Structure 1
């Protein structure tokens, strides 16, 4: 498991390299790519069914 120090170092390097304005854009595009990947794995499902499967279950 990664130590908290390594995770903080990676986050700091990302801020330095890309800036605070670009990081949310990267996160958004990564989320969209993951959604499209899940949709491609289940071609028979429509968008709403894929969203239901990808949402975390509530306790």
Structure 2
């Protein structure tokens, strides 16, 4: 039985005294409503805690998703031609500059 630590030492007379105080504070007519609302709130609290526990368990049981290689390969395809083209342009410029320098040296 799950008991809260401070409720372990409460015996029959203490429970009777608490019941009488609640009866005097809220009256006999409101006591059933109070008990009903207290029961509903306890039920909702237990449901919420069990839902959270289930969410945590399912999240821990799921395997982490693997990154998509399709997206990576498409990105590589897009950048590779541009990089090759720019490298070719730079090489052509360097070659033209080298030829110009060679012409100037011969003259």
TM-score normalised by length of structure 1: 0.58
Q: Bigger radius of gyration, 1 or 2?
A: 2
Report the counterpart of residue 31 of structure 2 in structure 1. 23
Task: Note the C-alpha offset of 1:3.
Answer: 3.0
**Structure 2 residues without counterparts, runs of 5 or longer:** 1-8, 55-107
CA distance in structure 2 between the partners assigned to 1:4 and 1:33 by the alignment:
25
Query: Highest relative contact order (Cα 8 Å, sep 6+), 1 or 2?
Result: 1
Query: Hey, which of these two has a bigger chunk of helix by percent?
Result: 2
Report the counterpart of residue 50 of structure 1 in structure 2. none
Matched positions, count: 44
Question: Residues 42, 8 of structure 1: CA spacing in aligned structure 2 closer, same or farther, 3 A cutoff?
Answer: closer
